[in-house]
Each structure stands twice: as structure tokens, then as C-alpha cells.
Structure 1
């Protein structure tokens, strides 16, 4: 059986100009990065028709540690819609090197449902992540230089909240000490690193609507507090212009293609467990303006990326989904039913029935928004007819329909039934209802997320979080949306509580204000913003030969 990268390497890839022409992008609007990828010039965004196509949001249940193919289904569904004669585009996030070299893998789909050039997208692509890392760490350097040069802003080094970033899993850098070596080496203080996808600049890039909106948001970033406990912003430092210059190309969406030559825009890559988990506003809006059907995804499960797409991105996008597709797999549901990862290929209807409760919570949560919901069963070779029928029956009992998608093996041809259901469903009227209103209190917003989306009983705040919340209310920051940073493996904040836990409490240990992005982050449980590598990282299996041919990249 061919691996994903072998399939991608054997594919016929069209020149990017041909993909752009099919999508309706003019030659002068394109900035090619070689043969098969390009940037779409930002200026082209304002020239598009205000009429938007249909928006399909693909989300999922809580996955197993290996991931369950949400991106694969997104690509396969888009190819199936194109095969049905619908003008279709995809909007996806860019992969991070952290998972690529770590455990989960990349985010370009798999099998016959991939975006290409697969290796380039999973590695350096068009340099967006490098630009973000450089801009973030430039701000860190300028902040420390302000301390070194007499500290004119009266910054308290103990209250600097702007860490440095790196786009790789490196647990050794979570907590560091900098400025050692004497007076010429800076002011000694504690510091640390987050992964690049957790940077507020990543969130800002994906939520900005223009270059000047990007600059305005950067100005609002809170980087530290003074000795008088007043916030210090990028605007105070006077460096928003320089940071925007570093990101002037990164803000432009990237154009590539699927194996079936469906146009795909890939842009931005915040994780959904520690950030908002969506591709950029510009990517999704461009797809909506160019195509009749725009298929997009949000990271991890509906409890994370799905909720954040609907409550944080939709108000800025100005377009609600016409259909929500929840991806589920037999293997993930059996894992939620108590089956060990090593035994997931064995039929187990009892465990599957228990695990289906996880899907049931996600179904109820997404149906609450008033948008039609479908379920896609991402088929694996070990799945049995009895297992897939059990899922279909359960979903039907809960007011929706489930469709088998054999997109890894067959590409768009394996999702034709799902695609037709999407076409039929998007033609129906929907009545979108946001989970909360901006004027709601932080407590009410969090309760709505915990009780309605997670199915939990409530939440509790640490002493530090209580103090922070009181400060945010005093400063008027409490009207911002909430980004819950939570494990992706459970509806709760404990990764070991699988299926559909009951009467649990979400524990919030700290809030992080991200005023440039326009939300407050609530760190729950033991969630980390700099992941670590597993015992056997994927990097151990990746190689390249004398001809430049890569192996082991999935």
C-alpha cells in the first residue's frame, strides 16, 4: 500500500496558473512561489463580488492521539462537490512543524484526498510561519531592548507576558532565564517559549481583514505591565509598523490544489486546543467570493475549533455556515468506549455503543446553533458493516443523517453520497443562533461553553484567575469572546475522561488577555502552550535521498 507522500509524489500536478485561472483569479493577482503554489495578492480581495457562496464547516468528535482524518474528509468532500459540477474551493490551515516532526502528523489530508505539494506545505511552504516567528521574536527583542536602554516605559520585568516562540515542540524551552552574562547582555529575568501557532500574532493574522487591520490589531497587543500595574502595548513601544512590514507577505493567502485539481487556499495555522483553530478570514472569504461552495475546517473537535469558528470567526467573517459536517470514525468512537489504541481494528459493537455518546454531545452542541448538521463516517479498512450501521442508526435517532466517506481510498468518488447530502442541506433555510452575546459576562460566556458545548456542570477559577478576571472587568476587557485552551482528547479538561463524562467541572488556572486578536484565553487543566515530543517522534522516520526524494513524511 502506498503511503500518503508516495501518492502525492506520483500525482500529476498542474501549474498554479492553471489552477488560478479555473478559480477565477487573474494573472496579475497571483504571485507564484515556484511551479505549484502561489500567493494571492491582497489587493485582489477588495475587487471580488460581495455575493458569497455556500459555506460548509467540517469539524469532528474528540480524536484519538493519531488524529482521525478531518482534513482528509474536507478535501474528499470538496473534490466530490467538484465532481458533481459545483464550483468548489477549500480553505484550510497551514500545518505546524511541531506535529509534523512530533506525533500527530501534518494537515494536508491523506491517501487520494490530499492537497499538494504535500511535502512543501508540511515543511516551509511560502514562509508564513517563519515570518510570524520572526515578527514575534522581534517584538520580544525590542521589549527587552527597552528594558536595557533605561526602561522609559517603566516596565516591571516580573510582569512581562510576551514570551518568545518557536515552531517546533521543545519542552526544554517552556521556562527559561535570559539576560545572563553581565550588564551588556540585557536585564536578567525569567522567560519562556510558546509554539508559534500559539502566538497572538498568528491569531491576529488569521482574524485580520486587511493589512491596515493587521497593523491596528498589532498595536493593541499587551506585552507587559508597569510597576504601577498598567498595561504596556505594542503601540506604547512604537514598533507596530516594523512588525507589520515583516508580515506584509504572510497576510496574503496561499493557493494550491488537491490531487483532483480542486483549488485550495491554505493560510494561517493556530491550534484549536490553545488558540482559535481556524484558517484566516481572508482565506475563507476569498473562497466564498470565488466559488459556489467553500469547504473549510476547524481544528480538533467541535468542542474546540467548531465552537471557536462559530463564536469568534463567524462575527468577523460576516457569513454563517450553511451546513456543519461532523467527522467521526469507528476507531475513535471505540477508543472513547474504552478500547486500547492497539485493539481498534477489532470489531467491538459494545464499546462502539458507549463511545457514540461522545458523538451525541457534539451533535447536540452543533445543532444548538440552528445550522443543519450532517455526520461523515471517515472509513478505515478495518471498519465493519455492522459498526458503520450502528453509527448511522444512532445519528438518525438524534435527528441527523450519517454518510460513509471512503475518501482516503477513493478520493471524491468515495464521498458522492455525502456531497449530495451537503448540496441538499445547504439549500435549506437555517436560523443561526450564537452561543452568547458580547455584553454577557465572562462567567456567563464560560458557563455557556462548558454546559452547552462540553456537557459539563460548570467551572471554577484559581485564585490567580479570579484576580485577573476582576482586573479585566475593571479595564473593560470582559466583553471580549472567550478562547478555551483545553485538551482535545476529552470533552472535559482531563484527557483521560473519554466518551461523554457527566457532572464534571472545568478548572481555569489563568487568563491571558489577547486584545490584538480580540479575545481572552482561558487556560484550563494542564494544557500547555509549548508541546513536547513523544518517545518516538515522526522525525525519526523522515529521510531524503541523493535525488531529493523525501520518505517517511506520512
Structure 2
């Protein structure tokens, strides 16, 4: 079988001015990064203010399984499908993190005939945005330790430095470390740790900022430590935000590339949805909406994580009103949610599909709760049978929505034309979008609302320390912030093995973190880690260069 990388490598790419011309984007607005990618000049983006927005379509999915759902592939296929039926379309997705690329998830450029290209570049260093984010984040960390070394004029309690370091790699050995060992000249030893770059608050600040001025403001108000009286120390107190913005100046400009069918694609930002807010940048989405009539974006993992955060964080903060949502499902993944082992997925099992459709139904109901019309995209595999596909259609119909069979992996945009027509139809009605909870609701009440309404939990468990911390933040003026749930992507619960559509489970809140610059509170549930680890046999073992110097083994 031809691999994704072979398909991408065989493609004939259009020049970036040709891609830009599809959106009436002048060549002068492009900042070239080689022959096949470009950034959009910030001055041109500012000049777009006042233009009417196009239609915004969110692609989300059922709970992920090892069988695969194909959310990014469907996002790309739908963008290509809209272009094929004569719509001016653009795609907006996140950049890929090196951690999962070399771990187990693989790339983030789609697959088959529905890919973003250049696939190899996008899945590796791309335009260097993640490196800039990591450098800015770690500059602040270095300046905090430097402040402690040179006398600690701010009175930082060394036990309460909450700003950790980051690296864009899965490395469990860095989760908990001690720094500044080796004597007086190396500073004051203290316990800290690393998160993966995509969990960095700097990443969130960049992805939620509209311009450099807002980015500097957000960075400045990030809380990095506390004094002994529990009063906060911010990035602005350390004096790092100006230098950080210098490092991030180019990274804030959205990246423009293309699909295999030359649909313009904005690829920018990359917070994970299980440990961060899971959406591409606001500036990329808003730029695309000013230039295209239809913008297809995605949110990470299942709708309980990515879509909820897209609606309650990104749309709330950016004033966006999505016009439709697509929930991606596969026969294979639904059979796994119905209890079938991965090794047995090729065998027809309509009963397992029926059982797994409880998961699909939950995601449909949750998404419609936000006032957004929904369509189900059945991402087709060759082993699917008609009876299994009919079972999904019937389950969707029982929820009052249509399920459309899509073959974009094999056929590109032609395989998503029916989905594109349905999406265009759904967007004709005015958006009735509304977030799940109001700003003024208390922080713990917001956590409970998500847990009970979206996860169908029976209770939320939090110890006195967590509750007291939330109350302190409310008193300090952070009550109006939304919450960002850090939770396993594999289940509606905090237990990754509890698949399907569980109800009545307990959701334990292990820790809460204030992201004052990004503008949300992170609630860490169960055993979820903000620094992932590599599997027993990471994908990196099979990645290398062939005799002609070409990359092989990349998904």
C-alpha cells in the first residue's frame, strides 16, 4: 500500500503566490519560508479588520481509539470538497508536536489523498514556531532563577515557583527534577520539572492573541511564582515579557501552506486538547475568515475535550460564532467502543457498532447543546460493511442528525463532496451558538458543569487544598475565567479504560493551575500528565533517511 509520505512526496505543489491568489491574498502579504510555505505579514492582517467573516465549521470526533478516527484527514477532505463544489474555502489546523511524531501518534497533516503538504516539513520543524515558543518560555524560567540568584528583590518564595520549563518532546524523565545543583555559583537548588511545549502557557497566549500588543500583555500577566504571603509574582514583575515578544514576533504570524488539491491551509499553533485548550491560533482563524467564504477548522481529540474547549475558551475569548460542526466517526472506532479488540476489527460486527454508537450519540448531544447544527462524517475504511454503515446512519438519525459516508482518504475532495454540500446547507441558518456556562459562574461550579453535563459524571472529587485555591483565585479577580480540563482523551471519565458512554462516575481533580495570561484555569483530572512519555517501541525507532537522503518512516 502506498504510504502517506509517498503520496505527499509524489504531489506537484503550487507556488505560494498561486495558493494565496485563491483567497485574493496579494503576493506582497507573503513572507516566504522556502518554496512551499509562507507566513502572512502582520500589517496585512491588521488591514483586514472590518471585513465580513465567512462561515466557520468545526470538525471534531468521537472518543479516540487505537483504531483511528481521521479527524485531521476529514478536515482536509472537507476543505477540498468545499473547493470542488465551487466554494472559496480555507483549512485551519494546528502544527505538529515532535513529541507524538516520534512517540506513537504519528503526524498531524492528515492522510491518504487528504493531506496538508509539505507533509515532512509540517510534521517536523516547519517554520520554527514551536522552537520560538520553547525559547521564550525557557527564557522566563532562566530569568526567574537568575532573579533568585541575585538577591531575590521581589521576595519570591523558592518553594512556590510555579513556572516550569518545557521541551517539545515526550520525556518522562523530566517530569520532576531538581535544578541548580553543584554549589553556590549555580544558584539555589529547588524542585521543578518540565512540561511538553504544547502545554506551555506561552503557547496558549500566542494562540489566543490577535496581535503583538495583546501577546505582550498576556505574557506580562502570567503568574510565575508566589511570595510567602501568597501574593503573586508575574512575568511583568520579572521583566521578561518584552524579550519574550521579540522571540515570538515572527511566530505570531500565521503559516500558509496547501492541501494536495491546492486548497489554502493555515497551519498555526498547537496546544494539545487533553492537557491544553486544543485549538489552532485565533489570528489564523480570524485571518482565514476574512479571506474565505468557508473555513474548516478542527479541535483536538473527541468532542468532550477539543470541541468543548473550542466553544468555551477559544470562541468565548475571540468572539467567534461557529456555523456548523462535523463529528467524525469510523466503524472501526465504534466497534472498539463497543468492546471489540483491535485484532478483530476486520470482522463484521453490527452489534458492536450499535453498542459503540452510544459514544457517538453522547458526542452529538453534547455538541448540539452549544446551539450548533451537527452532521456526522463516516470516515470509510475498506473493511466496513453496508450493515455496519447503516447502523451508524440509524444511530445518527435517532439523534436527529444525518450521517454522510466519506471516502476522502482514498478519493480526496471527491470523496467528501456529499459532506461539503451538507455542511454548506447547515451553515445557511443563522448561528445560535452559546457557551456552556456564563462568565460569572464560580470556578468549581464551572468544573462541575462540564463534568456533569459533558462527561455525565456523578460527582467531582476535589480536596480542601484544591477548593481553597479556587476560592483564593476568585477573590483575586479570576472568577470570570473559563476552565480548561486536562483529562484523558480516551474516555468521558478520568479512567482511560472506561470506554463507550459511562455515566455516574466520579471525576477526581488532582490539581489546579492558574493560566492568568492565557485567561483560563486548568483543572488536572486523575493521572493525566502534562509531560507525556514514549511507548515501549516509539515511532522514532523506524524513522530515518534512505540512501537518497529522503525521510522514511514518518507517518
Residue 152 of structure 1 corresponds to 153
Verify the 8 A CA contact 1:277 1:308 in the aligned structure 2: yes
Q: For residues 272-287 of structure 1, what are the structure 2 equivalents within 5 Å?
A: 272-287=273-288
Residue 326 of structure 2 corresponds to 325
Q: For residues 27-426 of structure 1, what are the structure 2 equivalents within 5 Å?
A: 27-48=27-48, 49-65=50-66, 67-426=68-427
Deviation at 1:66, TM superposition (A): 5.7
* Pairwise CA RMSD: 1.0
Paired residues, what number?
554
| In structure 1, C-alpha distance between the alignment counterparts of 2:419 and 2:27, rounded to whole Å | 34
Residue 535 of structure 2 corresponds to 534
Moved over 3 A (4+): none
Q: For residues 441-452 of structure 1, what are the structure 2 equivalents within 5 Å?
A: 441-452=442-453
Verify the 8 A CA contact 1:361 1:455 in the aligned structure 2: no
Verify the 8 A CA contact 1:464 1:509 in the aligned structure 2: no
Verify the 8 A CA contact 2:22 2:88 in the aligned structure 1: no
Verify the 8 A CA contact 2:67 2:333 in the aligned structure 1: no
Residue 21 of structure 1 corresponds to 21
| In structure 2, C-alpha distance between the alignment counterparts of 1:279 and 1:67, rounded to whole Å | 21
Greater CA drift, 197-206 or 363-372: 363-372
Greater CA drift, 434-443 or 266-275: 434-443
Deviation at 1:543, TM superposition (A): 1.5
| In structure 1, C-alpha distance between the alignment counterparts of 2:256 and 2:155, rounded to whole Å | 45
In structure 1, list runs of 5 or more residues that go unmatched.
none
| In structure 2, C-alpha distance between the alignment counterparts of 1:66 and 1:13, rounded to whole Å | 31
User: Tell me, what secondary structure is at the counterpart of 2:18?
Assistant: helix
| In structure 2, C-alpha distance between the alignment counterparts of 1:457 and 1:41, rounded to whole Å | 49
Residues 311-356 of structure 1 deviation map (CA, whole Å, 9 limit, x = unaligned): 1111233221111000011111111111112222221111111111
Verify the 8 A CA contact 1:486 1:527 in the aligned structure 2: yes
User: Tell me, what secondary structure is at the counterpart of 2:159?
Assistant: strand
Distance 1:44-1:401 versus aligned 2 partners, 3 A rule: same
| In structure 2, C-alpha distance between the alignment counterparts of 1:415 and 1:27, rounded to whole Å | 30
Greater CA drift, 464-473 or 161-170: 464-473
Distance 1:513-1:15 versus aligned 2 partners, 3 A rule: same
Greater CA drift, 66-75 or 121-130: 66-75
In structure 2, list runs of 5 or more residues that go unmatched.
none
User: Tell me, what secondary structure is at the counterpart of 1:23?
Assistant: coil
TM-score, normalising length from structure 1? 0.99
Verify the 8 A CA contact 2:67 2:342 in the aligned structure 1: no
Greater CA drift, 516-525 or 535-544: 535-544
| In structure 1, C-alpha distance between the alignment counterparts of 2:449 and 2:464, rounded to whole Å | 22
User: Tell me, what secondary structure is at the counterpart of 2:305?
Assistant: helix
Residues 458-502 of structure 1 deviation map (CA, whole Å, 9 limit, x = unaligned): 311123212211211221212210000000000111101000101
Greater CA drift, 509-518 or 429-438: 429-438
Residues 129-188 of structure 1 deviation map (CA, whole Å, 9 limit, x = unaligned): 000010011110000000000111111111011100000000000000110000001110
Residue 4 of structure 1 corresponds to 4
| In structure 2, C-alpha distance between the alignment counterparts of 1:258 and 1:65, rounded to whole Å | 25
| In structure 1, C-alpha distance between the alignment counterparts of 2:130 and 2:344, rounded to whole Å | 37
Greater CA drift, 335-344 or 285-294: 335-344
| In structure 2, C-alpha distance between the alignment counterparts of 1:238 and 1:65, rounded to whole Å | 45
Verify the 8 A CA contact 2:444 2:470 in the aligned structure 1: no
Verify the 8 A CA contact 1:131 1:250 in the aligned structure 2: yes
User: Tell me, what secondary structure is at the counterpart of 2:139?
Assistant: helix
Deviation at 1:444, TM superposition (A): 2.2
